[in-house]
Amino acid sequence: MSDQIVPDSEHRSLVGRLPQLPRDLAQLARFDRPIGWWLLFWPCAWGLWLAGQGFQWALLAWFLLGSIAMRGAGCVYNDIVDADLDRKVARTAVRPVASGRVSKKTAWFWLLMLSLIGFVVLLQIRWEAQLVALGSLAMVAAYPFMKRITWWPQAWLGLVFTWGVLVGWVTIRSDNLDALAALYAGAVLWVIGFDTIYALQDREDDALVGIRSSALRLGQSVKSGVTAFYLGAVALWALAFWLLRADWIALLTLIPVAGHLLWQVTTLDAKDPENPLERFRSNRWAGALMAAACFVVGNAGA
């Protein structure tokens, strides 16, 4: 398996056809697992669409490109920092840097290339949004260390991974910051919920090597914990919609995404190795449903 695709790859055949080095670089940036950049992209769309200036297709395309590039850059950085820990966890031991197939020098160069793409995207938005985007860099740099010092690295990931909500909104407007704050806070809880589900895959290995996670901290209460995070997320999203448009009908747009999150927690089975990964990946659809709700509420009556 050391020179093959990681077990949870979604595109084994596509990545597997690449020569070894391009394959390793694709794995390093997680191009074989697009769920990550979907989860980074959707909050950008939420902020952009709830701001109420229509579809904004060009900006959406730039945000999608930026999400792919910067998620890749973040993964490369994470693997450089976590190489020693990754070697001790079965699911991550085959990663390119941890396994030694890609040197750290090559990984740093690849990180720079991906960051340059992100810089090009940054130039496409107004300067206020550029400053907001740059404000996340310190938190991104600190994230890989959170699992060493707190039981809640998922909370830090939530702050970082949903920063696009703020960038998307400020790209269009700078008012109604109370609604924006509620939208962002709800997004953070959403990430804590789904990343706790994701962390269920590694609980045994994490406990052995001293990696901390919300899945370990919650113990046997994972399902109730994730339920609480998701309920908090929906409640804060409802507050965001209400602060922007005090109309009960607007809140009905949250029913599909709330129903999807309810399905996740009611069908979650931590004992089934495939179940948590499937529930985690399904959040691409949760993100899409929330994006639709943001568009309807943000653009109603426009």
For residues 113 and 98, what is the distance between their CA atoms, to the nearest angstrom? Answer: 20
The Cα 109–Cα 102 span in angstroms is 11
Which of helix, strand or coil describes residue 216?
A: helix
Percent of the chain residues topping a pLDDT of 70: 93
Distance CA 44, CA 171 (A): 10
How confident is the model at residue 1, as a pLDDT? Answer: 39
**pLDDT tens digit sequence for 148-199:** 899 999 999 999 999 999 999 999 999 999 999 999 999 999 999 999 999 9
**Mean pLDDT throughout 196-221?**
83
pLDDT at residue 169, rounded to an integer: 98
Is the predicted pLDDT of residue 264 greater than 70, yes or no?
yes
What is the pLDDT averaged over residues 262-290?
95
Contact 155, 192 (CB under 8 A): yes
pLDDT exceeds cutoff 90 at 2: no
Percent of the chain with pLDDT strictly greater than 90: 78
What CA–CA distance (Å, rounded) separates 120 from 196? 33
Rounded to two decimals, the pTM is 0.92
Q: Are 75 and 36 in contact (CB under 8 A)?
A: yes
**Distance (Å, whole) CA 17 – CA 188:** 37
For residue 232, the Cα-to-chain-centroid distance in whole angstroms is 18
- pLDDT of 293 > 50? The answer is yes
pLDDT of residue 93: 84
Segment 120-126 mean pLDDT = 98
- Write down the pLDDT at residue 92: 82
- pLDDT on residue 211: 82
CA distance linking residue 136 with residue 168, whole number of Å: 14
Name residue, tokens 């450089």.
80
